[in-house]
Each structure stands twice: as C-alpha cells, then as structure tokens.
Amino acid sequence: MLCKNPNLNINKIIITFLDKCKSTLQLNQLHALVITSGLSQDDFFMSKIISFSALSDSNSTAYAYRVLLNLQDPTIFDWNAVIRGYSKSKNPNKAVSVFVKMLQVGVFPDHLTYPFLAKSTSRLLRKELGVSIHGHVLKSGFDLDRFVANSLIHMYGSCGEIVYARKVFDGIPVKNLVSWNSMIDGYAKCGNMDLARGLFDLMNERDVRSWSCLIDGYVKSGNYGDAMAVFEKMRISGPKANEVTMVSALCACAHLGALNKGRTMHEYLVDNGFELNLVLRTSLVDMYAKCGAVEEAFTVFRGVSMGKSDVLIWNAMIGGLATHGLVKESLDLYTEMQIVGIKPDEITYLCLLSACAHGGLVKQAWYLFECLNNNGMAPKSEHYACMVDAMARAGQVAEAYQFLCQMPVEPTASMLGALLSGCMNHRKLDLAEIVGRKLIELDPEHDGRYVGLSNVYAIGRRWDEAKIMREAMESRGVKKTPGHSFLEMSGAHHRFMAHDKSHPSSEQIYTMLSFILSQMQLGVLNEDQEPWMYGI
C-alpha cells in the first residue's frame, strides 16, 4: 500500500541515510536528493548536512560553510558546527573569519562558540587574537562559564601567557578536574615545573590526565628523573596509565638509559592489557635502542606487520642501529624499507648520514645526500652538519671546509665543531685555528669554544696563545660547565661529574679507575684477576 503522503517517505529515507552517512560522496548525493525533493530550506535537514560536513575535513567544512551561507536563517548551532570544523582543520584561522561573519549578520555567540575559537587560537599561537577572544567573552557575559574558562586557560597556556591563564583559573568560582588539569598543562608547556608540581600536589582528586600532564612536562623540560619518579608513584598509587602516559615515561627511560626501568614499563604494558599499537611499539623501539638493547629493539620492531608500519618506527630502528655503530645493518634496513613501500623522510636520511659519518663512509654519505635531494627534500642544517662531520672524521678537512663555505645555509656551531674536531684529530692546526676563531665569533658564551681553540694552540705548543684563550674566557665571565654521566645499576641511577667524590662508593671507584689506568699503561689486563683482589 502506498503512503498517502509521499513526502513523508522521502523524509524518512533521507533521515535514515543521513544518520548512516559515512563519506563526503554519500553526503553530496544526499544533499542533491534534499534539493530535488524541495527540502533545501528545511532547517532540520540542512543542519544535519552542515553538521556532518563540518566535522569531516577542511574541504567538507568549506562545503558546509557554503551551505550555511545559502540558508535564509541559519541557527547558532549551524554557525558553531562550521567554526568547530575549521578549528580542527588545517586552516584554524578560518574559524575566526566565520565568527566575524556570524557577528556581522547579527547572530549572537553562545557558550559553545568561544571554546572552538580558543582552540583555533591555541593552534595558531596568536596571543593577541586570544586576548581579543577573551574580550568578547567578557562582553558576552560568559567569563564565569566553566567550559569557556577552561578553554581560555588552555589557550593562554599554549600561547605562553601563563600569567593570564592563572588569572582565569583563579577567577573560576567552582573549579572541576578539567580546570586543574588545564592549568597544570599550561605550566608544563611553559616549563614552570615547580608551579605545575605545586598545583598537582594541591589537588584532592587526580585522573590519568593530571599525572600525564606532569610526567610529560618533566620530560619536555629535561627532568627525566623526576618524570620517572612521578610515573613510579602513579604506578603504585595512581590510576592506570594510558598511551600518552606510557609514551612520555618511555621517552624519559630512553634519555636516562634506564634499561631495567624500560623493561619494567614494557611488562606494565603487557600486564595491563595495552594493545601494542604503532605508537607504543615505536616508543619501545626507541627506548631499547637508546638504552643499548638493540636486539630487544629489533624484536619489538619485527613484531609490527610491515604492511601496517610507518616511517617513524623505521626511523627509530635505523637511528638505533646507527647510534651503536651498526652502519651496515642500518643501511640494509634502509634498503628493506624502500622494498616494503615505506618512503624515507628527512629524519631517515639524517640517521643514515650520522651513521656514515661515524663509520667513515664518505662515499655512502654523498650517495644518501644526493638521494635526499633527488627525493624532493631540501637538506637542512643538520644534514649539512653530518656531511661536514663525515668528511672531517675521514681526514678530508679541506674538502669539508670548502663544502661548508659553499652551503646555501649559514654554518652552525655543530658544523664548525665537527670540523674543528676533525682538524685536531688529523693535525691540520692552521685550519683548526681558523675554524676555532669562527666558533668563538658564532657562540661567544659557550665555554667549549674557548677550550677548543686553547687546545689547538696547546697541541701546537703555542702556550702564550693558549693562555690568552683561557684568560679571554674568564674576562667574559664564561664558566666551564663540568661534564657528567649517568649509570644505572640495580634499578638505581648514579650521576658522576669530573673529580667528584660525593658518591658513597667514590673511594672504591677511584681505586678501580687507578687499577684500570695502570693496566692500560702496561698493556696487560689479566682476565683471571677479579676486582675484589684490589679491594673493590
């Protein structure tokens, strides 16, 4: 039996298909059906089309905006959908343009409009725009709305305006967990980890984001030991970690070389039922490789289906092999990478060039440098630095200097430092002096630049010039930063500095060092002798 109202059937069909729509192509077809059915001015159907289009991609958002502009009376819901779509797109500045257009046609924003604008501003990192948006919030009377205020805290934190963020935070009458997390995240992004930790400690309730913000902040500020300590506390008394937490914690392990801690984290992932997706596997590969466990890194790497891998995990593995001097293996993996269809990127070539530099493979380095150019990637200063390093290590210091002078980019301190090291190793002292002076001009506040040139003079027995360099460093107030190293033993981390005797086992350590040095001088090391025979 036919329905008496055929339009009712069309309406139901369109509603059903709109709810099940999964692609832009399907949406375009449905939109055509809406138009041919005479429903192009029906608010319900057009809002559905705008909402779906705006949340797909930037092209679909533009499509949604065109639809919106053709409506006779679009609602604030329609405008918010388009603003939200642009805030997530590659063109977040267009969200602001749509907002201006909305004001021009007399549509008043609501409490959902401003968070989308704040998100756009966060991505654009334009603090002056953020201040303007905040002014609109105050004029509109939404400054006490917690949802709006939380988005402003995040915006100011992302733009580095942490004082403004704190003022907004302090002005919220009733703060929720998002308020606290946004403020902690803002402090962490600005590197104010003492204030972030202080706020964290004041919280009565914490969720996984609270812990993750703090751990990630410590990692990004270089406080890897603190990041590890917070993760350990979270593991014992906090909520279950998520993927973001684990990536940050594994990064801290990698930088500290804390292999045992890294293995414990790997076990934590398995025991807590984490899916070892590509992101986590990449972090594990990076951690194991940087901790020296190349075989374990390779095992995790091979656990990924090659059809589902990406360039990041290949770079982590290639970089790990290169770091440990496994040059041939890293080059073989580069070849395999291309066979399975993964396109190398700039980081891939940087890892490979670094491997060639350390392995003395100048010809291979030139080949890879040409591949980088041929694949449409302009070499960056880091790639040029690797080429200079490769030639300098191989004794081709004159060629390296000529290459450096002809580069289309300005020489960096790392390039000159690599060349200086090569000149000294191969006793090219005249060129070493030229490079050393350029280094001081480029980086006059770095203690190593003066020490490097002083050493050049000392090698050439030019004692007066060597003394002048030391005096120049002192007259400029440049202090020599002592080097330090880390060692993990039985799960504990030990930090050592030159001539440092603060470690509780320093007496035994120096006794062992004296023994090793004496044996090196003799050229004999009796494998049958045990350390305990020398009081260790």
Nearest to 246 by CA among 260, 234, 258: 234
- pLDDT score at 503: 73
Position 493 in a domain: yes
The answer to the question of residue 293 being in a domain is yes
Which secondary structure element, helix H or strand E, spans residue 497, and what is its range? strand 492-497
pTM of the model: 0.76
Q: Which of 354, 374, 394 is the last residue of a domain?
A: 374
Q: What's the CA angle centered on 191, arms 189 and 197, to 5 degrees?
A: 95
Q: Containing domain of residue 512, as a range?
A: 486-534
Same domain for 391 and 478? yes
Nearby residues of 531 by Cβ (< 8 Å), 6 or more positions away = 512
Give me the phi and psi of 349, to 5 degrees please: -70, -30
Report yes or no on 21 lying in a domain: no
294 belongs to a structural domain: yes
Contact 218, 455 (CB under 8 A): no
pLDDT the model gives residue 60:
77
From the list 102, 92, 26, the residue with the least C-alpha distance to 69 is: 102
Contact between 497 and 484 under an 8 Å Cβ cutoff? The reply is yes
330, part of any domain? yes
Task: For residues 325 and 291, state if they share a domain.
Answer: no
93 vs 88: CA distance, rounded Å? 10
Other CB atoms closer than 10 Å to residue 216's CB: what's the count? 21
Same domain? For 445 and 402 the reply is: yes
Q: Mark whether 328 and 243 lie in a shared domain.
A: no
The number of domains in the chain is 4
Tell me the C-alpha distance between 177 and 439, whole Å: 50
Same-domain pairing of 479 and 440: yes
Q: Given this model, what pLDDT does residue 40 score?
A: 59
Contacts of 112 (CB under 8 A, 6+ apart): 80, 147
434 and 504 assigned to the same domain: no
End-of-domain residue from the set 344, 374, 404 = 374
285, 215: one domain: yes
Sign of the alpha-carbon dihedral angle for 79, 84, 87, 88: negative
Q: Is residue 365 a part of any domain in this protein? A: yes
Domain presence at residue 345: yes
* In a shared domain, residues 464 and 384: yes
283 and 325 in a single domain? The answer is no
Which of residues 242, 275, 304 is at a domain's end? 304
Report the CATH number that the domain containing residue 434 is assigned in CATH.
Answer: 1.25.40.10
Task: Supply the pLDDT for residue 306.
Answer: 73
326, 268: one domain: no
Joined together, the tokens standing for residue 83 give 């603003």
Q: Which of 319, 310, 374 is nearest to 337 (CA)?
A: 310
Sequence-ordered list of residues with C-beta below 8 angstroms from that of 440, at least 6 positions apart, any chain? 449, 450, 453
Same domain, 263 and 298: yes
User: In a structure prediction context, what are the per-residue pLDDT tens digits for the chain, which is 536 residues long?
Assistant: 334 444 556 666 666 666 566 666 666 666 676 666 666 566 666 677 777 766 665 567 888 888 888 888 888 998 999 999 999 888 899 999 999 999 999 999 999 999 999 999 999 999 899 999 999 999 999 998 999 999 999 999 999 999 999 999 999 999 999 999 999 999 999 999 999 999 999 999 999 999 999 999 999 999 999 999 999 999 999 999 999 999 999 999 999 989 999 999 999 999 999 999 999 999 999 999 999 999 999 999 999 877 788 999 999 999 999 989 899 999 999 999 999 999 999 999 999 999 999 888 999 999 999 999 888 888 998 999 999 989 988 889 889 889 888 888 888 888 888 888 888 777 877 777 777 777 767 666 565 566 666 676 777 677 777 777 676 666 665 555 555 565 656 556 666 666 667 777 777 877 887 888 777 766 654 544 444 443 43
pLDDT at 134: 95
DSSP secondary structure of 233-286: HHHHHSPPP-HHHHHHHHHHHHHHT-HHHHHHHHHHHHHTT----HHHHHHHHH
User: Is residue 363 a part of any domain in this protein?
Assistant: yes
Distance CA 500, CA 197 (A): 30
pLDDT of residue 525: 45
Both 389 and 479 in one domain: the answer is: yes
